[in-house]
Amino acid sequence: MTEGNDLINLTIDGIEIGVEPGTYVIDAAERTGVLIPRYCYHPGIPSRPAQCRVCLVKIEGQPKLQPSCKMTAQEGMVVHTASEEAEDARKAVIELLLVNHPLDCPICDAAGQCMLQDYALETEQLRSRLHEEKLVQGRDRIADDILYFADRCIICTRCVRFMSEVAGDEALIVAQRGHRSVIDTFPGRDLDHPFQGNIVDICPVGALVHEDFLFKARLWDLDQAASICPGCSTGCNVTIDVKENQIVRLKPRHNPEVNSYWMCDHGRKHLVMSNRGERAEVPLIRRDGRLGAADWSDALAWVADHLLEVTGGDAVVSPEAANESLFFLRELLDRLGIGGGSFRVPTGEEVTLAGFPKLALRAERAPNAAGAELFGFARTDDPAPSPAGAGLIVLEDPLSDHEPEWGEDVGFFLYVGGRLSSAARNAHAVLPVTGFAEMQGSFTNFEGRVQRFDQALQPPGLARPAWMILSRLIAELDARRDGETAIETPLEARQAFSAMAVATPELAGLDWDSIGPKGARLAAAGEAVSADVT
Amino acid sequence: MAGSVKVLKRPGTEGSYVRAASKGLGVTLKHMIRPYKVTQQYPDEKWELAPRLRGTHRMAVHEDGRAKCVGCGLCPTVCPVNCIKLIPAEDENGERYAAIYEIDEFRCIFCGFCQEVCPVEAIHLGVHYENAEYSRERWVYDLERLTELEHPYTALWDPADPTSQ
């Protein structure tokens, strides 16, 4: 048992636990492995109105049941979360919530992730005892892209409190009273906040639904991947939900160091939209003046042959490229005598989340600008002129706002990327690489936090991660020069990461496992944050 | 070693065939007189089918002719052979409906799970088995075809014995 002067010892369902003073019973119970049902309580929202009454527990010595989300742990407290009295009370609460609930689980987008559905099943309330007609209130558009189903709502007021306490914008209120209560915007106000999408995530039932996700997928059909939002340099931890190899939505993943439980609306839409359009699916090499398809071994050999003649030139990279890709590109550029290289970052207005100031939609709208700087690439504003007669390597930058004749006069133009704009079609060779969600890798966010992301989608055709292609290209080039190569050719992102960490002093001490799902700071390399279950 | 072989005693050759032949003819005569028919003149005479026979699907419709399906996705989830394709969408009233609903009857194993799981009693199996087609594509029934069929629905349980006693 934990002993110590500053810990408070209490017993929950027969398990003794020591917690810090000020810990609430509901959180203490969670640490012992007892998940007390909750609707109105959310760990990311400061207030605890204790109004849903579903977390009632029996505390010995107290005459009435107490809401565990509002009770701080006391020394010697004995809590029973599953006593008959508490279970009866919980069952009654659920029954009352179901009085006007339409029970339209089959067409509700929250079915499968709904706390009301779970607890109704748990308390075995499959049939209502009510004979009256249910109150039907219909649905409402509460914001541009958010629909509100009043009948499903249980008035937990999480959304109202998120807007007022975390977003700092009192746009939502509870209108009407009693069983006619509904969530509505304040009279004369619209809900229009850059972080409003979070009210959908925290809704414990299916009352608030994103319109772009409405009726799109059943939750059990979705594949999920832990990832990083590429919308700005904050690098919010997200879960990418995928259906049939299409990204359908992003959900924030809890990380107290970066984004808490939240993410912005820009990030939610950014990836879903950026994942469209045509892609290069096979390596292309220029023979007789025309780009033609080749297989990987031919293409790499052909490119390596031509790179032998390159000395000096320029490089253009994308701040959406992974650390590993940028590292291997830098290794390749060093061999070709190309120093420098540049990248451009799209910018926008910076918006901070009032209740969690660490989280902001940063002005820098790319996930890995810090990583590009780490590997020696310089920030520019305007498209650089193409280096006439010399070598040019472009990594993942779509070149969409470059002149169509950009790169025509280059000695050897290698395009490593997936999207073929007219400027990219001037390349002598195109090596198709996977986009951000189609590979594993890592990003460095604005404060130097290295965070890894997992693969969510199957890449198109023969596209491979850029770190895999570039490392093999280096090996081919070395073999042509002196017959030996010092570079490893990684098969997995973890191998690419360790090759990068060994060669980069800033990353010393980090490896794929130690940065974990929550990332680690470059400065505090030794103290990687361990994963905690939320 | 030959001593272990058992030699059966065969009937003698002296008996008459008349007795056995008359016995056989007796059976023939009996069937000639009794009006008991086994052979059914199939295309002209149809079987009388059990109410629980699980055959070709049918989609139930509302009075206005719309399919009852709400596009919940439970039937493609429960289908053990993945023969149901469903793409839900939002109709002009904001309700969920099946924009595309197709059942591949060729792949279907007629287990009846889709009918059991349907929360709005829209998709049913039917008491119907005659579905020959000239091409395999015709075996994929779309929503229009499923709603136009008119054979009776399969009963999920025997009406005379609802608890299967």
Instruction: Render pLDDT for A40-82 as a digit per residue (tens, 0 to 9).
Output: 999 999 999 999 999 999 999 999 999 999 999 999 999 999 9
Contact: A221, B73; criterion CB under 8 Å: yes
- Closest CA relative to residue A130, chosen from A106, A100, A103: A100
Measure Cα distances from A501 to A319, A323, A450, A516 in Å: 19, 10, 11, 15
The domain segmentation of chain B, as residue ranges, is 57-164
Sign of CA dihedral A496, A500, A502, A507: negative
Chain B contact present for A139, CB below 8 A? yes
Chain B contact present for A106, CB below 8 A? yes
Chain B contact present for A141, CB below 8 A? no
Percent of chain A residues past pLDDT 90, beyond the cut = 74
Contact: A214, B90; criterion CB under 8 Å: yes
**ipTM at complex level:** 0.79
Measure Cα distances from A87 to A22, A37, A76, A157, A442 in Å: 26, 11, 23, 23, 46
Question: Cα–Cα–Cα angle for A513, A515, A520, nearest 5°?
Answer: 170
**A106: chain B residues, CB-CB within 8 Å:** 70, 72, 74, 119-120
Chain A contact present for B119, CB below 8 A? yes
How much is the pLDDT for A524? 45
Chain B contact present for A136, CB below 8 A? no
Give the chain B residue whose CA is nearest to the CA of A218.
B73
Q: Is the pLDDT of residue B90 over 70?
A: yes
Instruction: Measure the N-to-C terminal CA separation of chain A; round to a whole number of Å.
Output: 24
User: For A141-174, what is each residue's pLDDT tens digit?
Assistant: 999 999 999 999 999 999 999 999 999 999 999 9
Contact A395, A416 (CB under 8 A): yes
Å between A107 CA and nearest CA of chain B:
5
Chain A contact present for B89, CB below 8 A? yes
C-beta atoms surrounding A111 within 10 Å: 19
Burial class (CB in 10 A: 0-12, 13-18, 19+), A373: middle
Contact A238, A258 (CB under 8 A): no
Q: How large is the average pLDDT for residues A385-393?
A: 85
| Number of cross-chain residue pairs from A and B with Cβ atoms under 8 Å apart | 24
Name residues whose C-beta falls within 8 Å of residue A21's C-beta, 6 or more positions apart in sequence: A6, A8, A72, A73
C-alpha B23, offset from chain centre:
41
Å between A130 CA and nearest CA of chain B:
20
Contact: B72, A107; criterion CB under 8 Å: yes
Q: What's the token pair of residue A218?
A: 């059943």
Using 50, 70 and 90 to split pLDDT, how confident is the model at B1? Answer: low
Using 50, 70 and 90 to split pLDDT, how confident is the model at A5? Answer: low
**A215: chain B residues, CB-CB within 8 Å:** 71, 88-90, 96
A220 closest CB neighbour out of B77, B88, B90: B77
**B94: chain A residues, CB-CB within 8 Å:** 139
- Which helix or strand (DSSP H or E) is residue A442 part of? strand A441-444
Å between B42 CA and nearest CA of chain A:
43
Question: Cα–Cα–Cα angle for A146, B95, B71, nearest 5°?
Answer: 110
- Closest CA relative to residue A234, chosen from A501, A398, A451: A451
How much is the pLDDT for A263? 95
Chain A contact present for B93, CB below 8 A? no
Sign of CA dihedral A386, A391, A397, A403: positive
User: For A207-237, what is each residue's pLDDT tens digit?
Assistant: 999 999 999 899 999 999 999 999 999 999 9
Question: Cα–Cα–Cα angle for A382, A384, A386, nearest 5°?
Answer: 150
Name residues whose C-beta falls within 8 Å of residue A243's C-beta, 6 or more positions apart in sequence: A216, A217, A221, A222, A223
How much is the pLDDT for A310? 86
Q: Is the pLDDT of residue A497 over 70?
A: yes
How much is the pLDDT for B57? 96
Chain A contact present for B94, CB below 8 A? yes
How much is the pLDDT for B134? 94
A218 closest CB neighbour out of B73, B90, B94: B73
- DSSP track, B2-39: GGGPPPPPPPPS-S-SHHHHHHHHHHHHHHHHS-----
Q: How large is the average pLDDT for residues A242-249?
A: 91
Chain B contact present for A379, CB below 8 A? no
Beta strands in A211-278 (DSSP E): 223-228, 237-243, 246-252
Å between A81 CA and nearest CA of chain B:
34
User: For B113-164, what is each residue's pLDDT tens digit?
Assistant: 999 999 999 999 999 999 899 999 999 999 999 999 999 999 988 777 777 7
* Three-state SS at A89: helix
Sheet holding A8-12, edge to edge: A15-19, A8-12, A78-80, A56-59, A66-67
User: For A457-489, what is each residue's pLDDT tens digit?
Assistant: 999 999 999 999 999 999 999 999 887 777 788
Chain B contact present for A246, CB below 8 A? no
Chain A contact present for B109, CB below 8 A? no
CATH 3.30.70.3270 fits B57-164, yes or no: yes
B71 closest CB neighbour out of A105, A139, A215: A215
| Identity of the amino acid at A206 | G
* Three-state SS at A500: helix
- Which helix or strand (DSSP H or E) is residue A394 part of? strand A391-395
Q: What is the mean pLDDT of chain A?
A: 90
Q: For residues A95 and A114, what is the distance between their CA atoms, to the nearest angstrom?
A: 16
Q: For residues A476 and A302, what is the distance between their CA atoms, to the nearest angstrom?
A: 10
Name residues whose C-beta falls within 8 Å of residue B11's C-beta, 6 or more positions apart in sequence: none
Q: For residues A184 and A191, what is the distance between their CA atoms, to the nearest angstrom?
A: 9
Å between A70 CA and nearest CA of chain B:
38
Contact A280, A446 (CB under 8 A): no
Contact: B96, A218; criterion CB under 8 Å: no
Using 50, 70 and 90 to split pLDDT, how confident is the model at A402? Answer: confident
Q: Is the pLDDT of residue A14 over 60?
A: yes
Using 50, 70 and 90 to split pLDDT, how confident is the model at A523? Answer: low
